[in-house]
Amino acid sequence: MTLLSVRDLTVKFATRNEPVTALHGISFDIAQGERVGVVGESGAGKSITGFALMNLLSKPGFIDSGQILFEGQDVTQMSDRAVRKLRGNRMAMIFQDPMVTLNPVLTIGQQMIETLRAHRRLSYDEARQIALVKLKGVYIPSPEERLDQYPHELSGGMRQRIVIAIALLLDPQLIIADEPTTALDVTIQADIMELLLELCRSNMVGLMLITHDLGVVSQVTERTLVMYAGRIIESGKTRAIINDPQHPYTQGLINALPQQTPPGTRLRQIPGSMPTLSMMPSGCPFNPRCELATDLCRANMPDITQFGEVQVACHEVQRLQADLNTAEAAQ
């Protein structure tokens, strides 16, 4: 069953002159309990997608058009009050840097209890009991004490566990995790990822994992969306994308990893860098960096088409498919 369905979502940023487009009509679905990775480099629009789903875009960003259907309701059309009832309750979010996510002047307990009481009629003590249970759920030692501590008294890894516990407080259907381990150390990172995976599996929670790390995506998610310059350029089963990427950008991204070339030799780099919002090239946004780019790529943005197991937006892949089809027809 579809939990979340995004259709033609366009997000723009107001500037001094014309608004610039940050998301170009993206569409995707997340099924109940499904774990989806959103991969891309900085500026690809992956965080913006996450915040747009929660209707939490900060100014000057705004949703220009499109639908965000969560459990059948369009988030973009809801009243502020109705969206608030959804946030933290049916749909929760985990932020990137645990050092600045928690309010420094409120205790952990206050920050957990207020969340519970914002969505449910609970007494203070009842809420505290639930908070305790959830803290135990993320393996926090001596949770009773932690409730009365301030964030600055805890380490980064511990704080991110608390953020996860807060996200899980009201048993949401979907968790949006925006680079949840980027600010953490490698060993802690692995812990947190494993914890997140375990909790999503055992509670049948949908996860949208926003990250730049293909390794993390491959270990945690079932399906992957690859974003580039505000567009989804490739999507499909994570295995398929990691093992056999179709879009030249996805291929380049995977091939550029140091693991992909023997030690000491040159890495396979992608030349150039991602265009900025205000200097978007015409046609396919990847064309200035793409070895296969043709005049068609420089003129038109390719549509998304099915190719094998994945959906790709690339003229070259479409041409390849057409060739295959004609070859088949000839046979």
Partner 1 sequence: MFAYLVKRILQAIAVMLAISMIGFAIQGNLGDPLRELLGQSVSEEVRQQLREDLGLNDPFLVQYMRFLGNALQGDLGTSYFFKEPALEVILKKFPATMELVFGATLIIVGLSVPLGVYTAIRPNSIASKVIMALSIVGISIPVFLTAILMIYLFAVELGWMPSFGRGETVHVFGYWDTNFLSADGWAHIIMPSVALSSIMLPLFVRLIRAEMMDVLQSEYVRFARAKGIAPWRIYFIHALKNTMLPVITVGGVQIGTMVAYTILTETVFSWPGMGSMFLEAVNRVDTPLIVAYLIVVGFIFVITNTIVDLIYGLVNPTVKLSRMGA
Partner 2 sequence: MSETQSDSPLLRIENLEKRFDVDSGFLESLRFRGGRIRRETRAVHAVNNISFDVNRGEAVCVVGESGCGKSTVARMVANLLTPSGGEIHYDGQRIDTLHGKALMPIRSKIQMVFQNPYASLNPRMTIGQSLEEPTKFHNPTLSNGDIRDKITGVMKSVGIDPAWTARYPHELSGGQRQRIAIARALTVDPEFIVADEPISALDVSIQAQVLNLMLQMQEDHGITYLFITHDLSVVEHFGTKVAVLYLGSICEVADTRTLFAAPKHPYTKALLSAVPQLKDDSPNHIRLKGEIPTPIDLPDGCPFQTRCPMANARCRAEKPAAFQQPDGAIVACHAVEEGRSEPGVTLQEAV
Which residues contribute to the site for partner 2 (CB under 8 A)? Answer: 41-42, 155, 185-191, 193-194, 212-216, 218-219, 238-239, 242-243, 252-254, 256-261, 263-264, 266-271, 273-274
* Residue 86 interacting entry, from partner 2, partner 1, none, C-beta within 5 to 8 Å by type: partner 1
Residue from the set 36, 39, 68, 92 that interacts with partner 1 by CB under 8 A: 92
Residue with Cβ nearer partner 2 (145 or 185): 185
DSSP H/E element including 78 = none
User: Which residues, 99 to 128, sit near partner 1 by CB under 8 A?
Assistant: 100-106, 114-115, 118-119
**Residue 14 in the binding site for partner 1 (CB under 8 A):** no
Question: Starting at the edge strand that comes first in sequence, how are the strands of the sheet with 174-178 ordered?
Answer: 91-94, 174-178, 206-211, 35-39, 223-228, 231-237, 310-312, 305-307
CA atoms within 13 A on the CB side of 52: 33
260 by Cβ neighbours in 10 Å (0-12 / 13-18 / 19+) ranks as exposed
**Interaction of residue 166 with partner 1, rule CB under 8 A:** yes
b/e string for 215-241 if b means 16 or more Cβ within 10 A?
ebbbebbebbbbbbbbbbbbbbebebb
Between 136 and 268, CB nearer to partner 2: 268
* 4 interacts with, out of partner 2, partner 1, none, CB within 5 to 8 A per kind: none
Nearer to partner 2, 123 or 142 (CB): 142
Is there binding between residue 52 and partner 1 (CB under 8 A)?
Answer: no
Say how far apart CA 269 and CA 283 lie, in whole Å.
Answer: 23
CB 29 to partner 1: min, Å: 22
Q: Greatest CA span in the chain, whole angstroms?
A: 74
Task: Please choose which of partner 1, partner 2, none residue 95 contacts, taking the beta carbon within 5 to 8 angstroms, the exact cut-off set by kind.
Answer: partner 1
- Alpha carbon 257 to its chain centroid, in Å, reads 21
- How far is residue 6's CA from residue 28's CA, in Å, rounded to a whole number? 5
Smallest gap from residue 241 Cβ to partner 1 (A)? 28
Residue 285 CB, nearest approach to partner 2 (Å): 14
Site of tokens 């985990």:
94
Q: Which residues, 6 or more positions from 309, have their beta carbon under 8 angstroms from its beta carbon?
A: 236, 237, 240, 244
| Residue ranges binding partner 1 (CB under 8 A) | 54, 56, 58, 84-89, 92-93, 95, 97, 100-106, 114-115, 118-119, 150, 152-153, 163, 166
